Amino acid sequence: MIPSCEAIDPSIIIYQEGGVLAVNKPAGIATRGDSRFPIGLRERLVETIGLDIYPVHRLDVVATGVLVYSASRNTRRNLCAQFFNREVEKIYLAIVEGAIPLSEWENNMPVDKKPAHTFFKSLKQLRGPNRRIYTLVEARPTTGRRRQIRKHLAGEGHPIAGDYDHGAHRKFAPIERPLLHALQLNCTNPETSAPLLLQVAPPEDFNQFTEISL
C-alpha cells in the first residue's frame, strides 16, 4: 500500500527561479521516493508547489541542508552535467567524535570500490550535551559516492556524532541522527549563466554543542 502524500511547509524553499528549485532539506526524509521510502521530499514538494520536479543530486535521508531540484528537462540536463564534470562546489559541516587539532587534510579512500575524494578542515572543538569532546569539521567532496563523507570520517576514527551505522558510540548519546549538514552549494545558474550560491544555516540540533576555548 502506498501512503498518501502530504504537502510540506513551503518555507523550506530557499530559491526558485525558472527551472531551478533549491530547498533546505529536513532530516528524516528521502530526496525522492523509492522502494524503501515510497514518499520522499520530491513527492511532497510536487504536492506543495504543483510542479513536476526531479532531483539533480541527492542527500542522505539523515542529512539536512541545500538540495537542488529541476522543473525542466533542459535545466536538469545542464545541472547534472555540472555535477558530472565536477564544476559544482559542495560544502558540508559535520560534528565528529573526538578532538582533531586545527588542520586541513584530504581523504582518497575508495568508497564501495570506487574512487572517492574529500577535502577536510577542522574548524573548532566542541563539548557535547553528554560532556564528551567533539570537533566541527568542514567537508568538501569532489566525488559523490553514497555516504562518502560519513565513511571517510569513520575510516579515520572520527565517526560523525550520531552515525551509529558507521561506528559512533551509542553510550555517548543522546544524539538522534548523524550531524551532517549540506551548508553551501555553488554552481552556475542554467537560466542566466551567472554564478549561483545557495546556503542554509545548520539546524537546531547542531546547537547542542558549545565551543571549547583552546
Active site residue ranges: 60
Grid look-up 552556475 returns 188
Across-strand partners of 65?
Answer: 25, 182
Q: Are 70 and 21 in contact (CB under 8 A)?
A: yes
Q: Are 57 and 70 in contact (CB under 8 A)?
A: no
Q: DSSP E strands: which ranges in the chain?
A: 13-17, 20-25, 54-55, 64-70, 89-97, 104-107, 118-127, 133-141, 180-188, 195-199, 210-211
Q: Are 79 and 102 in contact (CB under 8 A)?
A: no
Distant-in-sequence, close-in-space partners of 35: CB < 8 Å, separation ≥ 6 = none
